[in-house]
């Protein structure tokens, strides 16, 4: 059972466009929602993260929108650039019974920004 559903699987936009990647979850115990960016041949790197007590967080050209009642969150990339071409993973974590935060990932979205 996939706990974090991510869409679309792939996305192609023109330079300057605003790609939007969506994620949905079921487990209401999730309390931390990071996005990771992965370039080919590299490991995922934390891009931006949000907690459910806020509806939006912005860092530079990257914005997370969070809808707690709908259990959905999304990543928007403003003024996208070819250098943003990468695979993006949404994730969610919660505190387990053993006192550990367990990070659960979506399947990833491969973004291509065309010049």
Reduced 3-state DSSP string for the chain: CCCEEEECCEEEEECCCCCEEEEEECCCCCCEEEEEEECCCCCCEEEEEECCCCCEEEECCEEEEEECCCCEEEEEECCCCHHHCEEEEEEEEEECCCCCEEEEECCCEEEEEEC
Q: Which of 15, 58, 68, 100 binds other proteins (CB under 8 A)?
A: 100
Is residue 93 close enough to count as binding other proteins by CB under 8 A?
yes
Provide φ and ψ at 113, rounded to 5°.
Answer: -105, 115
Stretch that binds other proteins, among 19-27, 38-46, 57-65, 71-79 (CB under 8 A): 38-46
Query: Is residue 67 close enough to count as binding other proteins by CB under 8 A?
Result: no
**Which of 108, 112, 114, 115: binder of other proteins (CB under 8 A)?**
108
Size of the residue set binding other proteins (CB under 8 A): 28
Please identify which residue in 13, 49, 65, 112 interacts with other proteins, judged by CB under 8 A. Answer: 49
Residues that bind other proteins (CB under 8 A): 2, 4, 6, 9, 32, 34, 36, 41-46, 49, 89, 93, 96, 98-108
């Amino acid at each position: 059972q996939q706990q974090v559903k991510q869409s679309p699987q792939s996305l192609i936009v023109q330079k300057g466009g605003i790609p939007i990647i969506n994620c949905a979850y079921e487990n209401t115990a999730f309390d931390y929602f990071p996005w990771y960016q992965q370039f080919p041949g590299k490991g995922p790197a934390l891009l931006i993260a949000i907690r459910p007590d806020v509806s939006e967080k912005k860092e530079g050209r990257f914005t997370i929108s969070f809808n707690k009642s709908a259990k959905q969150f999304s990543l928007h990339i403003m003024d996208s650039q070819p250098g943003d071409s990468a695979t993006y993973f949404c994730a969610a974590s919660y505190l387990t019974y053993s006192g550990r935060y367990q990070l659960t990932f979506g399947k990833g979205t491969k973004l291509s920004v065309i010049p």
